[in-house]
Amino acid sequence: MNYRKAKKEDMSAVHHLVQVLADYEKEGDAVNVDPKYYERCFEEKVFQVIVAEDQERIVGMVLYYMNFSTWKGKMMYLEDFVVLPEYRNQGVGSKLWEMWLKDSKAQGAKMVKWQVLDWNAEAIKFYERQGATIEKQWWNGKIIF
Report the CATH number that the domain containing residue 87 is assigned in CATH: 3.40.630.30
110 — pLDDT class (breaks 50, 70, 90): very high
3-state secondary structure of 42: helix
> Regarding predicted confidence, which is higher, 114 or 140?
114
* Alpha-carbon gap, residue 32 to 10, rounded angstroms: 18
Q: Evaluate whether residue 102 is within a structural domain.
A: yes
Which residue range is the domain that position 62 belongs to?
2-129
Do 54 and 1 meet the contact criterion of CB atoms below 8 Å apart?
yes
Q: Evaluate whether residue 135 is within a structural domain.
A: no
pLDDT at 141: 87
* Alpha-carbon gap, residue 122 to 145, rounded angstroms: 32
Known active-site residue 37: no
Q: Evaluate whether residue 145 is within a structural domain.
A: no
- Percent of the chain exceeding pLDDT 90 equals 93
Write the CB contacts of 92 (distance below 8 Å, at least 6 apart in sequence): 1, 52, 59, 60, 83
Q: Evaluate whether residue 6 is within a structural domain.
A: yes
Question: How many domains does the chain fold into?
Answer: 1
Q: Evaluate whether residue 81 is within a structural domain.
A: yes
pLDDT at 125: 94
Q: Evaluate whether residue 136 is within a structural domain.
A: no
Of 3, 65, 87, 127, which one is the catalytic site residue? 127
Q: Evaluate whether residue 47 is within a structural domain.
A: yes
Q: Evaluate whether residue 24 is within a structural domain.
A: yes
Strands of 73-83's sheet in order across = 2-5, 48-54, 57-69, 73-83, 111-114
